[in-house]
Amino acid sequence: MSEARIDKWLWATRIFKTRTIAAEACKKGRISVNGSQVKPSRMVKPGEVIQVRKPPVTYSFKVLQAIEKRVGAKLVPEILENVTTPDQYELLEMNRISGFVDRARGTGRPTKKERRSLDKFNEPEFLEDLDFDFDFDEEDEEENNQPE
């Protein structure tokens, strides 16, 4: 098979979990082949480069084989080549690190994990190095409690 529908290919190569989601991504303009947006029925051929926008990253894949039947995860490298640029992965990492800082309005309270991450992010690093053990003598304590 030298050609395959793009929605089936995206599903077969495990880029999308279901074919319906792959077709929806095509309809929303998130899939492009060689720079032009495509419909779910567009046929792909080996050698074409497919860009998949999953915000905030745009992944790029080169088609090595056109298939329409789903394959095991170990066989995916024989079917596609990931040609995504490293700066896209840096963008993904930065978004993962700072994602909890810019919460969307109306998403509710942060979870316990998000709150701890936020606290850790906002805590100054130099405070971890300081030792705040204050040793008071009993005499000092009595002097502080005396009315003047």
CATH class name, domain 1-84 = alpha beta
Q: Are 26 and 6 in contact (CB under 8 A)?
A: yes
Q: So where are the chain's domains?
A: 1-84, 85-124
Write the DSSP symbol of residue 123: S
Confidence (pLDDT) at 133: 57
Write the DSSP symbol of residue 7: H
Residue 111 three-state SS: coil
- 104 confidence band (pLDDT: 50, 70, 90): low
pLDDT in tens, 29-63: 999 998 899 999 999 999 999 999 988 888 999 99
pLDDT at 114 exceeding the cut of 70:
yes
Q: Are 42 and 53 in contact (CB under 8 A)?
A: no
Neighbours of 23 (CB within 10 A): 21
